[in-house]
Amino acid sequence: MPMLADIDDPRPSRVRGFAIGALIALPAGALFWWFAVAVLPRVILDNAVEFDSRLRQEDAYMQSLCANLSEETMDRDEQLCECALAVEYPSLDCRMPFMHWSLEQMVGACTDTATFESARAFCSCVRSLDEQLGEVASDSKEARQIIQRYGACTALDDALFLPPVDALIDAGESPS
């Protein structure tokens, strides 16, 4: 219902405001649509392919390590192999034992001075996690949280890779 004030001073037209809003919203909406339809799915798929590839490599690594389990390597690899041999996809189902085992292997590798100098950030990260693990009970929630941080160490630029399975098998078979 119009008021007396509206008759004397009519409302301004809303066409100008609508046009300015449309000029701003249409390009912004088109940019968002392009990102949501073209870019975001590609990023998600690329990361999924990379993650799947890494998990397949870890599966193969654990299966070949545990397939060649011997008396000499039993103490070192027993906990990991108990899990890895019992499941179909060890990289998914045995994530925590594998990360803990990997952390122990890397702590051993980082004791070498030359290795430490070539991968300072990674070895410092690994040593820090190992020290933190020494302060908590091995089966506690805190220990699991510390072990999960190992993934951040492997994302560093100077991260070391696990030794080849052949080297681990040969190291376990060498006479003490």
For a pLDDT cut of 70, what percent of the chain falls above it?
92
pTM metric for this prediction: 0.72
Residue 28 confidence (pLDDT) = 95
Predicted confidence band of residue 172 (pLDDT cuts 50, 70, 90): low
- Encoding tokens for residue 7? 């008759």
Residue with tokens 């020494």: 134
Q: Tell me what the mean pLDDT of segment 103-124 comes to.
A: 92
Residue 72 confidence (pLDDT) = 72
Are the CB atoms for 135 and 115 separated by under 8 Å? no
With a CB cutoff of 8 Å and minimum separation 6, the contacts of 168 are: 65, 73, 77, 105
Q: What dihedral do alpha carbons 44, 47, 51, 54 form, nearest 10°?
A: 160
**Residue 111: what are its φ and ψ, rounded to 5°?**
-70, -25
* pLDDT beyond 90 at 91: no
Residue 77 confidence (pLDDT) = 83
Residue 125 confidence (pLDDT) = 94
Return the closest-CA partner of residue 119 out of 127, 110, 128.
Answer: 110
CA distance 109 to 119: 11
Predicted confidence band of residue 32 (pLDDT cuts 50, 70, 90): very high
Instruction: Give the CA distances from residue 67 to residues 85, 104, 131, in Å, rounded to whole numbers and listed in that order.
Output: 8, 20, 31
In whole numbers, what is the pLDDT of the chain averaged over residues? 86
